Amino acid sequence: MPKYKVLLSYPMEDKPNMISILNGNGTIVKNITQQLEVTSGPGTNNRTLFTPYTAYSMNGTATGKLIYINEGNKVDFEELDNSSISINGSIVLSRSFENFYPAAIMAAKRGAKGLLYYPDPNKFAREGMGENSTYPNRPWLASDAVILAGIYGRFGDPETRLMPSVDGIRRITFNDAKDSLPILIQPISYGTARMLFQRIDGDAVPFKWRRDLTSTFRCDQNYTKNNWTIKLSINNQLARKTIYNVIATITGREEPDRYVFFGNHRDAWVYGAADASTGTSLLLETSRVLMKLVKQGWRPRRTIKFCSFGAEEFGLMGSVEWLEENSYIFKERGVAYLNTDVPVQGSHTLLAQTSPLLMDLIYKWIRQVKVPVDEGRNESMFDVMMSRGPASSIPGYPQLRNFRYLSDFIPFYFTNGIPSADFSYFYNYTKEGDFELYPTYHTQEDTFYWIEKFADPKFEIHRSMTLLMGGMLIDLADSLIIPLNVTRLKDALRKAYFALTASSSPLIKATLVQQHISALNRSLVKFSSQCDSFNSEILQAKVSDKVDPLKVRTLNNQLNMLGKAFINPRTKSDNPAIVQHVAFSERFNGVLNALGKTNDTSEIQEQLSIVNVAISSAAKILKSIEIVSQE
């Protein structure tokens, strides 16, 4: 149980955050206390005090006109700018939970004092906002549900950046007025948002923004009927807390120094039945079954580590600190990480986020594991994904996604290069071919009642997800050759190259940049050729009548090292301490970031060089190693 002392952010239950409506004289007309009593489901008498807040929001008080900013994305702020609407000195209101962090950054740059954000009922209450259409009668969010999140833009303990938060490590002072965004932030329900909208008169809001709660309200500071303002008071508190990870280990027999990780986080914003208790149930069930096998005499070829991380919701605290403490060991020994954060949030189809090396292993197991599609009929996950999921760029295969939803795989993959994957069975709808989070995400309505009533009444998806992830875990830990497919990595790198050369940036045409791109292409050709040769070696080792243990060990060492070649701390990133991977999501992100944020071709050349070295090193890693006979 490794423990870490980290800085967390909490609301003050005896002094909850407050929204006050003031009239033209500055007199409080109405106080909206951000606190309510909640239960874990209908018929439950045990009531809990729920104090909504945004972790790490700056504390203080701000007063200003309320201005609606739609989703608060770049296009919305451009719409305000084009309409000559200033948000300087205001409190802004956004209907987007998913976009609230970048919205807060852009609003702060334009002088806003505070941000209120609420769950868009068009997404989270699709059947209407009445009692009969929402929780607990239907799966959709009720009008008083509030989505919680954190605003701390980094990962890990704010006081020990890049170092584990253990005894003997220097701590830096975290000042919420300096280190937080210079803006007050508070989540509210769409019921509270509706009440605020009703006090905004006029018809100045862009027509395309009127899809929300009322058709007549303004988004500027020129109210005519009510000269009222909003006073936002944030009273959060920072507290240094001891958190624990729980790590269980089954030591491997032949390769005990090779680690396969299987884990998720244990904490939740409120009840957290889907996020992340469904993952904890999979973790516990898988460990129970494998320990039963161990008692019967079985041991995996490689070491398995079951991981239950603490304080993930605050910024991946448990996993980041553990990786920071053990980075040198895990980077050398880590084979793969399987993440089971929210494995069950519905019964529609599977979303698998993965790095390329694990794709074929996933395809293998989703063909074998079946799930219910209707009463009395099951189909393989593979077939369900083909019929219900978004279209794939690989003909004949369902779509496997690049990483989109953040979780504890971040420090494993993006900082240490350990091949990783994350799995979640999504709720029963997609929008425009894309996935959307389940309605009660991060709210007080993410309860066991909701899971049992609406997501997986017979817990059949839970069983299927356990079979899926348990099967992959055993394959990774017990196969003679580690089941990582280098061809998928080759394909992903080639796609990243094409995405780069298709860039519209004029800088890409510069002579020196083109020279580096040509060199990069040559390295890709060498890597592709080496992948083909390496695949032939693996095939020969698998079909050989006599297995050479040293050859197997050599091949596995090469596979284990391959992903680590793509980690470089000089990769240009918005979060360079964590995101050090030079090629993910089928993009050379450091290069594309440099193209988008500088006119200096020297920085672009540097990022191209970093990618070139990574691919060249990967080719050298896969180069055949001669085994000298001892006879």
Question: Letter for the amino acid at 94?
Answer: S
Residue carrying the six token digits 């986080």 = 265
Instruction: Please indicate, yes or no, whether the overall pTM of this predicted structure exceeds 0.75.
Output: yes
pLDDT one-digit tens code per residue, 492-517: 999 999 999 988 888 888 888 999 99
599 within 8 A of 584, measured Cβ to Cβ: no
In the structure, what pLDDT confidence band is assigned to residue 225 with cuts at 50, 70 and 90?
low
194 within 8 A of 213, measured Cβ to Cβ: yes
Is residue 217 scored above 50 in pLDDT? no
* Strand extents, DSSP E, 402-558: 420-426, 430-431, 434-435
The radius of gyration computed from the CA coordinates of the chain, to the nearest angstrom, equals 26
pLDDT one-digit tens code per residue, 3-31: 999 999 999 999 999 999 998 888 898 99
The pLDDT value recorded for residue 433 is: 65
Is residue 151 scored above 90 in pLDDT? no
Beta bridge partners, 378, equal: 372
Residue carrying the six token digits 């329900």 = 189
Overall average pLDDT of the 131-155 stretch:
92
b (16+ CB within 10 A) / e for 466-502: bbbbbbbbbbbbbbeebbbbbbbbbbbbbbbbeebee
| Catalytic residue numbers, as ranges | 312
pLDDT one-digit tens code per residue, 110-129: 999 999 999 999 889 999 99
Q: What is the mean pLDDT of the chain?
A: 91
The pLDDT value recorded for residue 211 is: 54
Question: Letter for the amino acid at 510?
Answer: A
Overall average pLDDT of the 206-224 stretch:
50
DSSP 8-state code for residue 174: P
d(CA 402, CA 409): 12
Is residue 154 scored above 90 in pLDDT? no
Residue 245's CB is within 10 A of a number of other CB atoms, namely 22
In the structure, what pLDDT confidence band is assigned to residue 432 with cuts at 50, 70 and 90?
low
Mapped onto helix, strand or coil, the DSSP state of residue 52 is: coil
d(CA 304, CA 474): 9
163 within 8 A of 324, measured Cβ to Cβ: yes
pLDDT one-digit tens code per residue, 559-599: 999 999 999 999 998 887 788 999 998 899 999 989 887 77
Question: Letter for the amino acid at 10?
Answer: Y
Is residue 108 scored above 60 in pLDDT? yes
Q: Which of 301, 365, 308 is nearest to 341 (CA)?
A: 308
Is residue 163 scored above 90 in pLDDT? yes
d(CA 442, CA 477): 33
Alpha-carbon 87 to chain mean position: 30
d(CA 159, CA 170): 8
| Cα-based angle 463, 466, 472 (whole degrees, multiple of 5) | 145
In the structure, what pLDDT confidence band is assigned to residue 543 with cuts at 50, 70 and 90?
confident
Full DSSP string of 330-383: HHHHEEEEEE-SSSBS-SSEEEEEE-GGGHHHHHHHHHH-EEEEETTEEEEHHH
Most confident of the ranges 150-164, 320-334, 580-594? 320-334
d(CA 488, CA 498): 16
